[in-house]
Structure 1
Amino acid sequence: MADDAPDGLAESRELVRGAAKWFVAGLGAIGVVLVAGSQLSSIGSLSVHTARFYVALAGVALGLLAILWAMWRVVDVLSPRQWAFEDLVAEWDAAGDRAAPRGRPDQAPVGRYFRAHELFLGGFESPRAIQELWEVSPPDRAGFDDLVDLMDDLLDKAATIDLQHRFRRLRLQIAMGVLLGAAGILGFAWAANPGSPDDAPPSLRNASLVGVDFHGASLRSVDLTGADLTGADLADTDLAGAVLTDVTWADTTCPDGTNSDARGTRAPDGSVTGGTCLGHLVP
């Protein structure tokens, strides 16, 4: 019956289906781009004894499954529901009385719509009344063709309302699927591509740096545990994030220009104990 739908309703349905098709194309593109950014074979380079291996495995599984699930929900929108007039009558009954509708707002949306817009019923009190008249009317009855046209229009309107409702209901689910998919693939990309050891800051643990001139240099995030900085010049040196545990400070020029001995205790023989640059690390 709905094949002879008014142009406006047919265009409305095609608009919704067109948007759903773009959803499918967008989801496919997202999956391709995210996976292309990190080869699945990268998992093979990870040790099964590391957390990164399991994060990568979970990430790629979550990412691909979420995107496939979102695409499946889009396909649900693209699959048209075939409406019979009995379905419309059942929707009308399921919606309950207009003043006291039953169920959640997303239940029986077609019936709720027609109860709120009874003008579409062509003067009948309900779809059931239309069906009952059609069942007892012979084909040669005066006005029979008009009755059939009214039923056709109602079924076409019902199909359009149902499609729009399903699209609105699934938009959030589709968006959540996209977000979960992106999060999973990004988690996989992070876990499967650990940084190169060459990119790590150098370690100067227990190094003898006596008298070294670091003036204006960057020692950001460098491990200086146990290093001997006696007489070293650290003026204007960037020590942000550096590990300074058990460092030997003696006559050391701190980043702010202070001498480490100024924080210590000078003995009668001129030796200084307790000197430090801690508290003077910002140039």
Structure 2
Amino acid sequence: MSEAGSSVAPAMAASAQSLRDTAKWMVGGVAATAVGVFAGSSLTSLGSLDPWSDRGRLALAIAALAVGFIGLAAIFEKAIRVLTVETMTFRQVAAPAVAGSERAALQARLIETYAALLPQGTTTLEGYIQRVEQAKTANPKQAADNDVLAKVKENVDILTAAGGFIWVYNRFSALVSALKWAVPTMIAGFGLFAWAANPPDARPSPPAFSLTIQGATK
């Protein structure tokens, strides 16, 4: 394996870990915001609402709380996918994938970026594996067969390492996209919940009439 090929895997692994650390920081901030909402007075004030006279505010508070949790759950779901460490072999990366699936997007990105590593006439990762098997069984072996076999270990190491990074990068991109709508949804839901759970103080009713007694003037 060449020096360039041997340095790819550690670099890709470090980049993927950097994305995971960033995802932890982002989600940590979101979680802290949510905890602040429930640790404050908004939640404790919910019990002061009367189920009958304040049923409108109570219903609005419950609905707004559900909306806030939907945004929060969407963020956590995407973040967990980023933080999940999945190890795949090159054969698993190259396995046939359903069009539009996560694996299909991974394969398309790898082929687009590392097309130069594929043997001439090969356009898919699965085709690369088949070409390697063909070169192994060729008898007698041609110069092209020997060239494929000489480069296969280095190329597979590069493609596997890059595939791991792209897998994490695509999931991180999905997390960023989710944040664009989930954070406003969460803020709107929890903000509306705080308003609904904290009715204004009741104002005293004005007297039915007022009586002013004024003394006689000289």
TM-score by length of structure 2 reads: 0.71
Correspondence 1:30 to 2:33 = yes
CA distance in 1, matches of 2:151, 2:112: 23
Q: Which residue of 2 aligns with 1:165?
A: 170
Q: Distance in 2 between matches of 1:205 and 1:116?
A: 81
> How far off its partner does 1:203 sit?
4.8
More deviation in 106-115 or 145-154?
106-115
CA distance in 1, matches of 2:209, 2:117: 87
Q: Residue type of the partner of 1:131?
A: I
Alignment of 1:61 onto 2:76:
no
Question: Counterparts of 1:121 and 1:163 in 2: how far apart (Å)?
Answer: 23
Change (3 A) 1:123 1:153: farther
Q: d(CA) in 2 for partners of 1:113 and 1:190?
A: 47
Q: Distance in 2 between matches of 1:104 and 1:142?
A: 35
Displacement of 1:31 = 0.5
Which structure 2 residues correspond to residues 208-219 of structure 1 after superposition, within 5 A? none
Of Structure 1 and Structure 2, which has the larger fraction of its residues in helix?
A: 2
Cα separation, partners in 2 of 1:13 and 1:23, compared to 1, 3 Å = same
Q: Could you tell me whether the CA contact under 8 Å between 2:9 and 2:157 is conserved in 1?
A: no
Find the aligned partners of 2:50 and 2:8 in 1 and give their Cα distance.
61
Query: Does structure 1 retain, via aligned residues, the 8 Å contact 2:8–2:158?
Result: yes
Contact 1:17/1:78 (8 A) holds in 2 = yes
Q: For residue 129 of structure 2, what is the aligned residue in structure 1?
A: 131
State whether residues 42 and 198 of structure 2, in contact with CA within 8 Å, keep that contact through their aligned partners in structure 1. no
Is 1:110 matched with 2:121?
A: no
Residues 192, 128 of structure 1: CA spacing in aligned structure 2 closer, same or farther, 3 A cutoff? closer
For residues 42 and 206 of structure 1, what CA distance do their matches in structure 2 show? 35
2:4 maps to what in 1? none
Q: 1:6 is paired with a residue of what secondary structure?
A: helix
Partner of 2:83: 78
After TM superposition, list the pairs within 5 Å mapping 1:235-254 onto structure 2: none
Secondary structure of 1:18's counterpart equals helix
| Counterpart for residue 42 of structure 1 | 45
**Given that residues 34 and 182 in structure 1 are in contact (C-alpha distance below 8 angstroms), is that contact kept between their aligned partners in structure 2?**
no
Which residue is equivalent to 1:149? Answer: 154
Give 1:75 shift.
0.6
1:104 Cα offset (Å): 6.1
Alignment of 1:77-96 (within 5 A): 77-90=82-95
The corresponding residue for 2:3 is: none
Name structure 1 gaps, 5 residues minimum. Answer: 95-102, 210-283
Structure 2 residue 9 is the aligned partner of structure 1 residue 9: no
The CA deviation at 1:57 is 1.8
Question: Using the alignment, how far apart are the partners of 1:7 and 1:182 within structure 2?
Answer: 39
Decide whether the 8 Å contact of 1:70 with 1:173 is kept in 2.
yes
Seen in structure 2, the aligned counterparts of structure 1 residues 30 and 120 have a Cα distance that, compared at 3 Å, is farther
- Cα offset for 1:132? 1.9
Write the distance in 1 (CA, Å) between the matches of 2:126 and 2:58. 61
* Cα distance between partner residues in 1 of 2:66 and 2:94: 44
The alignment's C-alpha RMSD in Å is: 3.4
Indicate the percent of aligned positions where both proteins have the same amino acid. Answer: 24
Answer with 41-50 or 23-32: which moved more.
41-50
Q: Distance in 2 between matches of 1:55 and 1:15?
A: 41
> In structure 2, what residue type is equivalent to 1:68?
A
Q: CA deviation at 1:190?
A: 0.7
Equivalent pair of 1:124/1:130 in contact (CA under 8 Å): no
Question: Which one-letter code corresponds to 2:107 in the other structure?
Answer: G
In structure 1, the residue matched to 2:142 is: none
Larger radius of gyration: 1
Distance 1:183 1:38, change over 3 A: farther
Matches for 1:193-204 after TM superposition, within 5 Å: 193-198=198-203, 203=206
Kindly indicate whether structure 1 or structure 2 has the higher relative contact order, using CA contacts under 8 Å at least 6 residues apart: 2
Residues 71-80 or 34-43, more deviating = 34-43
Change (3 A) 1:38 1:65: farther
